[in-house]
Amino acid sequence: MHIPDGYLSPETCVAGAAVMIPAWATAGRRVRRTVKSRYVPLLAIGAAYAFLVMMLNVPVPDGTTAHAVGAVLIAVVLGPWAAVIAVSTALAIQALFFGDGGVLAYTVNCTNMALIMPMVGYHLVYRPLARSTSLTAPRRAVAAGLGGYVGINAAALAAGVELGLQPTLFHTAHGQPLYAPYHLAQSVPAMMLAHLTVAGGVEFALTVGVVAYLQRVNLPMLRINHDAVPETDADVVAAPRRVRWWWALLPLALLAAAAPIGLIYNAGAYGEDNPRSNTGRFLSRNHLSALPAGLNHYANFWHHALFNGYDFSHDRHPALGYVVAAVFGTVVICVVLLALFGLARLVGRRAGRSGTTAGPPPPELIDLDRPVPAGTSVGAAPAPGSRP
């Protein structure tokens, strides 16, 4: 689903930017209001999870590969707008450092995987199905899994339509495609076959498994985005209120170690071939006499990837390269998100100090783990002389 550069026209990429720029602005405002500072590591871990999951390629019956994304799982735990930021960060690191997905096509890839997928899966599937259930109900985990399945297929459909419209909208006077040569009759069935049969099943299983695990051992993490959902298990009610975000470090390490599994099936994903790497095969497969002009022009727009193809050894040690790339990408994603939120917090504090008045913090930003002075209600200003 990572569309490379050259497959989409510049106009299509601009349209993706027109969609994502206001989405990113909205996500930034929503996340700053609802994600407390102590939850920022969770957002970084969510982005790292999406990055690692997208490295695990699984075979598809038509001879290509596909992968899960993890966007709906992040939406269930932290909210859909947090998923927009987390998946967008993962896609940016993939494009810049690993050449996975185009830099020019970045906004379109974000539209599909960071916006359409979590919004469709969370709002149209998960919330309606999980309504009127407790936080520990098995139905809630299944609803999250179905949200992941529908969400990834919605993103795949969008990618298929975007690729399939290219030869119809952008072609030469003689009808030769300028960018992606696949028509809708080719791109949509290919994308949907891969995701309805394989990638959607992987997404469903991963989402159900993680949510069910959180229900058993770390319910406060699910409570972040489900503040008003009732709990019915007495043992769960007695669970600690503090979110143990560090629980995810071991699963992330296991995912990084398992990344080379994606190399077992040596095949590329549909629509992600580099036409210059095997021009003859590309031309014969698509019944072309020459590479489309726009595709040939933009195919290698970004050639500064540090670990191109998740490898640094020119395929001499591909498994080691995959593991190193997984660890490197995870660290970079966490550092980037923590730095961005730290900078935003610093700017916010300076802006608050320069203001003429400083009211009490909004209720959603109060740390519930911090003791509240006697006689002080939640959301009210502390008593004079009391320590904050």
Please enumerate in sequence order all residues whose Cβ is within 8 A of that of 379, keeping only pairs 6 or more positions apart, or say none.
360, 362, 363, 366
In a domain? residue 371: no
User: What CATH number is given to the structural domain containing 88?
Assistant: 1.10.1760.20
Backbone angles phi, psi at 269, to 5 degrees: -80, 155
- Please choose, from the candidates 268, 362, 242, the residue with its C-alpha nearest in 3D space to the C-alpha of residue 60: 268
What pLDDT does residue 384 have?
45
pLDDT for 310 equals 75
Place of tokens 């602005």: 25
Q: b/e map of 129-140 (b: 16 or more CB within 10 Å)?
A: bbeebbbbbeeb
Question: In Å, what is the CA distance from 35 to each residue of 44, 150, 371?
Answer: 12, 26, 19
- Which of 132, 107, 125 lies closest to 12 in space, CA to CA? 107
Residue at 276 is within a domain: no
Q: How far apart are CA 114 and CA 1, in angstroms?
A: 12
Is 204 part of a structural domain of the chain? yes
| Number of domains comprising the chain | 1
The residue whose two tokens read 């069935």 is 189
Domain assignment present for 243: yes
The residue type at 225: N
List the domain range (segments joined by +) for residue 122.
10-270+318-365
* 3-class state of residue 150 by DSSP: helix
Q: What does the pLDDT read at residue 253?
A: 73
User: Is residue 5 in a domain?
Assistant: no
End-to-end CA distance of the chain: 48
The pair of three-digit structure tokens given for residue 79, joined into one six-digit string: 């909210």
Q: Are 330 and 54 in contact (CB under 8 A)?
A: no
Q: Look at residue 14 and tell me if it is in a domain.
A: yes
Q: How far is residue 215 from each of residues 136, 139, 146, 187, 313, measured CA to CA in Å?
A: 5, 11, 17, 39, 42
pLDDT value at residue 379 = 42
| Beta partners for residue 171, in sequence order | 177
| Averaged pLDDT, groups of 10, the chain, 388 residues long | 94 97 94 74 90 88 85 95 96 93 96 97 96 91 96 96 95 92 92 92 95 89 85 48 59 68 63 72 75 88 78 68 82 84 72 56 40 44 45
Check residue 12 and give its pLDDT: 97
Give residue 371's pLDDT.
43
- Please report the pLDDT score of residue 336 as a whole number: 85
SS3 26: helix
Residue among 266, 202, 262, 263 nearest 63 (CA): 266
Q: Is 229 a member of any domain? A: yes
- The predicted structure's pLDDT at residue 239: 44
Question: What's the pLDDT at 378?
Answer: 40
Q: Two tokens at 77?
A: 């735990």
357 lies in a domain? yes
Name the residue with tokens 């982005």. Answer: 47
Q: pTM of the full predicted structure?
A: 0.80
Distances (CA, A) of 150 to 33, 64, 72, 195: 28, 21, 10, 10
Exposure of 215 in the CB half-sphere (CA atoms within 13 A):
23
Provide the H-helix boundaries in the chain.
10-34, 40-53, 71-78, 80-98, 106-110, 117-119, 127-130, 138-169, 184-194, 200-217, 219-223, 234-237, 249-258, 279-285, 293-298, 318-354
Q: Scan for tokens 């550092």, then name that residue.
A: 335
Helix (H) or strand (E) holding 66: strand 65-66
Query: Rounded to 5 degrees, what are φ and ψ at 361?
Result: -65, 150
pLDDT at 364: 41
